[in-house]
Structure 1
Amino acid sequence: MGSSASSKGTQQITPVTVKPQHEVVGATPTTQHEKQLTVVRKCIAFLKIATSTGGNAVRLNESDDASKFQKFSAKRELLLPGFIKSLEELHVTDDYTTDTAMENLLTVCEMSNVADNETANMLISKRYPELFVKIWKAVYDDKMYESNELERQYIVFNLLKQATISFTHVACRLCTEMGTQRYGIIPLMAKEFEHPLMNQEALKHGMKKAVWDSPRETLKKMVNILANIIRKDIDNKNVFRQANVVHHLQDLLNCRFLIMRAKALFCLVYLINDDENEALNTTNDNIKFVLKVLGKCLDEPEHYCEHYTYSAAVVMDGICFLAANDNNKVNLVKNDIVPKLITMMTTENLAEKRSASRAVWKLAFHPDNKENFKNNKKLIEVLTNLSNVETDAATLNACKTVLWMLDEDNGVQKTRAKTAKNRDKDKSEANELGKETVLDIESLNGDEFDVNSPAKHVMISYQWGVQTQMIRLKQHLKKAGFNVWMDVDNMGGSTLESMAAAVEQSAVVLICFTEKYKNSPSCRTEAEYTYKLQKPFIPLRLQEDYDPDGWLGIMIGTKLWVDFSISKTLDENHKKLKQLLGDRGRICEENQPDNDCSLNNPGAPESEVKRPNNFHRASVSIKQPKPPANAREVASWSTCQVSSWLAAHGLSELKNRLEGYNGQRLLGLKTIATDAPDFFFTEIKKDFGFKSLLDIVKFKQALDEII
């Protein structure tokens, strides 16, 4: 094995003489000793190639030729029987240093080279996380970095890591499983940071050139695995933090080896909170380094840098998390990320287009960047072109939303203006005829809700990770007589247009927050549009122990939230939510007891959920309401227009009381009514001289009609 030394001068390991791989393959062992050497040589040859190339795993893109996929699919089929047999034998083995065990582990490594998402996720049913822990504990020894007697343990240890790097690179479900507390994998791996050969001084005085068996290389493998696991499922973030991974990775940012800095940084961006992000990036050094790595990737023909073992798409995914912090957003643009984004959005690589368009979307939330983007003709040209011709839904949605945010997407604005015009026309015709409008109640069932309907609704804004809970909440509210809108299937038609119309027509928005909600550009777009229109909103917490931070913390401010993250308090919190909603978004009275709610029978399909009697038929006659006033229009009202608004609602007697109130002040009054209802009702009775409860109700209903 290769040599490594700590600052005190550790014992060197005598390297095994290994012939080139083509010679090893053709060799025929004649003695038991030669046969044993052959197994060791084959394993070392595999690890040498993996080290020199950044891993043997095949990198396939969705845009690759079909023949390439077929080629590696055929290879997987060929390896599959031996792969499954090897896993089964490894599970019942106690000594992993035998020839048979090492051959089996090498077979697993060979499959990891060509594994796709389906094959790698199959490892869950094959109990791979359990096997990983068993092999690690069986072979790990503090002295194996320096002892010749522990050579085989060290080889097995590195084979296990190399296979796991490749599997976790492609498998989301496997990463979720390995990152949970159940197996203790993260704390087990984190302990290796504490080995004397892994500290900064030892790494600094180690070998300059990376070889497969240096401590630096085995540490790099470990960080690779950690990065893959957290990148694929950030829900396991607390497991990493409890294992002190953040502290260890921060130490590596000072490592003299740039590749170790890169590995540590691209793992950290998924683990740190907003405050730590601020402290980590007090200078532009990390931003510049990340963009340097991205540039190295883009310089390569396939946009993959073997030195850093990263593709441009993976680097951009990390940048998206780095951009969660507003200061980082500005610094990324100041350090010329835009040309790199344009390069990635104009390639045929689908993963690159997705990650780059998502990054542009995230960066566009900062006002300084918005102005920069508006003045960048090339960027606008690329965004416009993709919004017209792109077939990938994620990329298309990102580009159209950015243009909408920049007020550059005239197509969307015109479509929405036309839709609004048609709604106004329908209302006008209904009013002129003096008829009641028949509304299809089935069209008000949340995800099937017709956004052109004049009826107001409760909008559920959430991130996809909690969709199951939100569907149950939707059923509960519908059963209580509320008209609920919820995006279940990426919305009908244009995602952007549907979202905007849904917010505009809402009586109140439920902000169902988790950390993933905070990091999602789609969720932030919904939330900020809600805030911009001064819509009433009620925060619901869906992730235990998560307190909103960053932009979400600023938006929620001192508002009290209803905690839906703890199952044992759900019944109590449903009652709280209905109290907070009041009559906003309600279209009929509740007439079913709470204990019949589908939340207590989560397996029941929506079609079996009992509804109030007046939901039984497909349609019901509802009096057509007055056209609601739009908050953006109200904001520009003069005092005279406020007086006209009072008269239109039969509240002319309040003109003198509201003298001096323009549209902005009226919206402020609406905000107080939403955020501090007790204070609102006490003060308006005293200041406005209301003489009856009916007058108060009429005034409050008039305010509620402002959307």
Structure 2
Amino acid sequence: MDSKENLDSIDASLRQKIKQEFTAIKYSDILQEDMIEIHIKFIWNTLEKLKRKKEQLVSVIDNLVESNLKGGTERILSLLEENKEKLATTTGVFPENVRNFLSIVWVGTDVSCLLCHQFVCSSVIIRKTSRLLDFLSDVFTSESVLFVIKFILGCWHNCLRHASSAARIHFREIDSKLAIQKTIHKYEDNQMVVAKGIIVLSYLLIESEKDDSILENEVLGFIIQILSQAVESEERVSRRHGMSVQEILQGINNLSVNDKNKEELVKRKSLPIFVKILKEKRDQEEVLQTLTIIWRISFLDQNFPKLISDADLVSVIESLQFDKHERIRHSATGALWEMRQRNMSIDCIKDDPRPHVMISYQWDSQKVMLKVKDFLKQAGYKVWMDVENISGSTVEAMSLAIENAAVVLICMSQRYKESPSCRSEAEYSYKLRKCVVPLRVEPRYVPDGWLGIIIGTRLYFDFTPEKQFDHMMENLIKELGSKGRIFDNIDGMVSIKQQSKDNTEEKISGSWTKTRMNGWLDSCDLSKPSKRLYDLNFELLSELRLLQTSSPATFYDILRSDLLLSGVDVIKFSQELRKLSDI
């Protein structure tokens, strides 16, 4: 038996033992120490021993999840609620069984995405922990109370990390942020509780809510200290505070959405720590989180001189532009571009003689924006949209796309606002004084902060009601007018697909020859027919026939601008074209 088979055998044996122990717990009274203590202690001691053996730890936790750890957690939370008054008056520690079981759950949420998903989908667990936190933030502080508060904040933090989208919905439904804010205020002298509370809030609050009364400067400094300790640790974890480099960086990343925090992070000497993480490259996600933070803090003008003058920082980011991982290359290039473009003169930008419509969006809204793109192309517009997430020179491609854009469509959502890539695109468009048209792609979203400044008082087009899509597109095309239209010559005309079911009978047959086409044009009796008109073939004529019905404004614009018809000739051509339904 080789070492791998031997390890698998040990894991199977351990999982079976854990399952037996947990089964004994499920069918016992957890408050009866003599009956159950040995079972809980065995599981907890096993997890303690496996802290540095991640694969085995995950295997054991998964086994507990399969054995309904969620159900056991709901039971013990009910017991805590029933005995909360007693808990509040206990000066010492509460039963060791309870403490150890909660510790098992805490570790479980740290390593198991499945357990976190189960928790956030269980209204029982979220509501019970929220009520407990709210109650304990008003009572006398004891070791037992403090442990339960740390347990709740720790589990919430893990759930928000592992099941972010689902978690935010459930947490906001019960307005858990109020209980967190009460706890932060009560324990303002306990840096660990405040830091944990603020990191949890960073997942829940929108930017306008992250004000100074919640995000104290001293606490940001404390979070950076924890990060420094974790970076220096061989296990990449601050054992004293129970937080890994990656989860600390995620919290800082969330906090760095706020411009005041961007400045404070640089003041608190976080850059040398970031440089160390990037140079060591111990973990891909750590590098990505760090690059995203640097990209975000580079948006602040006050930070620019310190960032660009840090030779070590610039050097390591430059090297990461050639990393084997695409996401790292993209983030490194984006951060460098953001820092350097602030020195770039607008005068050096050369416009494309055939500008396009650029779609600036966050990937969550790609589905609806692909529909917008196709509709615009069908209506005769030249459209630039990053669909494949261009590798390598993404930022360079993006900057060229903005420089050569006639108009930029900004697809507003909270995710758009929080994305450093999207902010770079929007702010660069603003810097170059490009025409900006806002589209709302998140229900009831109202832009604030930096995005609110860029959008200003512009009217937006709301694409969130799906049934209003066609109506919104009609209005958007009216707003765009000729900006980004590509019919500069007839050879450049793109195919305009059929946009209405009512037009199916209008399809022109491909049986027309060049002679027949020229004969039909002669029969239109135009006073000044242009050469471009005689370059038409039956496919292009068919597309014009569709446009005549589906987008009259675009149709008449093409006749005047591209086919060079004027006056009565426009009316004659239109009338003759409308008669072609039998061809």
The TM-score normalised by the length of structure 1 is 0.58
For 2:127 and 2:475, the matched residues in 1 are separated by: 39
- Map of 2:339 onto structure 1: 406
How big is each residue's C-alpha offset from its partner over 1:613-666, in whole Å with a ceiling of 9 and x where there is no partner?
A: 99xxxxxxxxxxxxxxxxxxxxxxxxxxxxxxxxxxxxxxxxxxxxxxxxxxxx
Change (3 A) 1:590 1:167: same
1:523 matched to 2:456? The reply is no
For 1:556 and 1:236, the matched residues in 2 are separated by: 30
What is the root-mean-square deviation in Å for CA atoms of aligned residues? 4.3
1:593 matched to 2:499? The reply is yes
- Map of 1:46 onto structure 2: 43
- SS of 1:367's partner is coil
Deviation at 1:266, TM superposition (A): 1.0
Change (3 A) 1:141 1:248: closer
How big is each residue's C-alpha offset from its partner over 1:123-144, in whole Å with a ceiling of 9 and x where there is no partner?
A: xxxxx7xx58965776564217
- Map of 2:183 onto structure 1: 252
For 1:184 and 1:338, the matched residues in 2 are separated by: 42
Alignment map for 1:303-342 (pairs within 5 Å): 303-342=236-275
1:461 matched to 2:360? The reply is yes
Alignment map for 1:41-120 (pairs within 5 Å): 41-47=38-44, 72=56, 76=59, 83=63, 87=66, 104-105=67-68
Deviation at 1:593, TM superposition (A): 3.4
For 2:436 and 2:157, the matched residues in 1 are separated by: 36
The correspondence for 1:374, drawn from 285, 296, 308, is: 308
For 1:467 and 1:58, the matched residues in 2 are separated by: 40
1:158 matched to 2:108? The reply is no
Give the AA of the match of 1:42. Answer: H
Is the 8 Å Cα contact of residues 412 and 439 (structure 2) preserved in structure 1? yes
- Map of 2:126 onto structure 1: 186
Deviation at 1:304, TM superposition (A): 0.6
Query: Structure 2 unaligned runs (5+)?
Result: 1-13, 29-33, 487-492, 510-565, 568-583
Calculate percent identity across the aligned residue pairs.
Answer: 27
Is the 8 Å Cα contact of residues 397 and 495 (structure 1) preserved in structure 2? yes
Change (3 A) 1:177 1:472: farther
- Map of 2:140 onto structure 1: 202
- SS of 1:507's partner is strand
For 1:324 and 1:566, the matched residues in 2 are separated by: 28
- Map of 1:393 onto structure 2: 326
- SS of 1:269's partner is helix
Give the AA of the match of 1:390. Answer: D
Give the AA of the match of 2:43. Answer: F
For 1:305 and 1:224, the matched residues in 2 are separated by: 14
Alignment map for 1:567-582 (pairs within 5 Å): 567-582=466-481
The correspondence for 2:172, drawn from 236, 241, 249, is: 241
For 1:79 and 1:368, the matched residues in 2 are separated by: 46
Is the 8 Å Cα contact of residues 305 and 311 (structure 1) preserved in structure 2? yes
- Map of 2:281 onto structure 1: 348
For 2:116 and 2:372, the matched residues in 1 are separated by: 29
- SS of 1:202's partner is coil
Is the 8 Å Cα contact of residues 231 and 267 (structure 1) preserved in structure 2? no
Alignment map for 1:493-572 (pairs within 5 Å): 493-572=392-471
- Map of 2:291 onto structure 1: 357
Is the 8 Å Cα contact of residues 410 and 438 (structure 2) preserved in structure 1? yes
Is the 8 Å Cα contact of residues 323 and 363 (structure 1) preserved in structure 2? yes
Change (3 A) 1:59 1:49: closer
Is the 8 Å Cα contact of residues 132 and 160 (structure 1) preserved in structure 2? no
1:583 matched to 2:514? The reply is no
Deviation at 1:590, TM superposition (A): 5.2
The correspondence for 2:213, drawn from 280, 284, 294, is: 280
- SS of 2:205's partner is coil
Change (3 A) 1:462 1:613: farther
For 2:238 and 2:391, the matched residues in 1 are separated by: 40
For 1:406 and 1:481, the matched residues in 2 are separated by: 36
Change (3 A) 1:536 1:408: closer
For 1:348 and 1:484, the matched residues in 2 are separated by: 38
Bigger RCO (CA 8 Å, 6+ sep): 1
- Map of 1:229 onto structure 2: 159
Is the 8 Å Cα contact of residues 539 and 556 (structure 1) preserved in structure 2? yes
- SS of 1:407's partner is helix
- Map of 1:477 onto structure 2: 376
How big is each residue's C-alpha offset from its partner over 1:415-472, in whole Å with a ceiling of 9 and x where there is no partner?
A: xx9xx99xx9xxxxxxxxxxxxxxxxxxxxxxxxxxxx96432221111122222223
For 1:458 and 1:190, the matched residues in 2 are separated by: 47
Is the 8 Å Cα contact of residues 358 and 402 (structure 2) preserved in structure 1? yes
The correspondence for 2:145, drawn from 205, 215, 235, is: 215
Give the AA of the match of 2:248. Answer: V
Is the 8 Å Cα contact of residues 165 and 221 (structure 1) preserved in structure 2? no
Is the 8 Å Cα contact of residues 139 and 154 (structure 1) preserved in structure 2? no
For 2:438 and 2:233, the matched residues in 1 are separated by: 46
Q: Relative to structure 2, which stretch is displaced further, 561-570 or 275-284?
A: 275-284
Query: Structure 1 unaligned runs (5+)?
Result: 1-21, 61-70, 88-103, 109-127, 208-213, 425-452, 598-611, 615-692, 695-707
Q: Relative to structure 2, which stretch is displaced further, 571-580 or 335-344?
A: 571-580
- Map of 2:83 onto structure 1: 143
Is the 8 Å Cα contact of residues 542 and 564 (structure 1) preserved in structure 2? yes
Is the 8 Å Cα contact of residues 144 and 151 (structure 1) preserved in structure 2? no
Deviation at 1:218, TM superposition (A): 2.9
For 2:399 and 2:502, the matched residues in 1 are separated by: 34
- Map of 1:293 onto structure 2: 226
Is the 8 Å Cα contact of residues 139 and 153 (structure 1) preserved in structure 2? no
Deviation at 1:581, TM superposition (A): 1.9
How big is each residue's C-alpha offset from its partner over 1:291-343, in whole Å with a ceiling of 9 and x where there is no partner?
A: 12212222322321122111122112211121111121111111111111111
Deviation at 1:551, TM superposition (A): 0.8
Change (3 A) 1:514 1:216: same
Give the AA of the match of 2:289. Answer: S
What count of residue pairs does the alignment treat as equivalent?
A: 467
Is the 8 Å Cα contact of residues 503 and 530 (structure 1) preserved in structure 2? yes
- Map of 2:199 onto structure 1: 266
Deviation at 1:175, TM superposition (A): 5.2
- SS of 1:574's partner is helix
For 1:238 and 1:133, the matched residues in 2 are separated by: 21
The TM-score normalised by the length of structure 2 is 0.69
Deviation at 1:543, TM superposition (A): 1.4
Deviation at 1:278, TM superposition (A): 2.4
